[in-house]
Amino acid sequence: MKIQKLLSVPLSVLITATPIGLIFAQEESEPPRRLEELLTIFDKVAQYVIPFAALVCVVFIIVGGYMWIVAAGDPSRVKQAQGTLTWAIIGLVLVLLAVTIVEVLKKVVGL
């Protein structure tokens, strides 16, 4: 019983002091300020990072294709080229997924 009382006060203070607590404390009619600020900051950073990441992924896809061509049938080199291509494509998909998630969040929040 004493442990519950000891933990309930710090946890309630922690929840209300965190950005999550601030989000839930506001009215539902307006978008949460913290989330709005976070999305704005991410959008500014994403303007530079996402095109760079996409370019790096495309370069690695080209490098992986070149590695495959130069492998000349050597199974270990073909496997290495396949690995490069696989991870480059996964990276490109993750970049596109990050852009999509941010855009969806912006539409949900109303930015």
Give the model confidence (pLDDT) of 16-73 as tens digits: 444 544 455 555 555 557 777 877 787 788 888 888 988 999 999 999 999 999 998 8
Contacts of 31 (CB under 8 A, 6+ apart): 109, 110, 111
Q: How far is CA 61 from CA 14, 20, 50, in A?
A: 46, 39, 16
Q: Report domain extents, the chain.
A: 1-30, 33-109
**φ, ψ at 96 (rounded to 5°):** -65, -35
Report, in this order, helix, strand and coil percent for the chain, each rounded to 5.
Answer: 85, 0, 15
Instruction: Kindly report whether the global pTM for this prediction surpasses the value 0.85.
Output: no
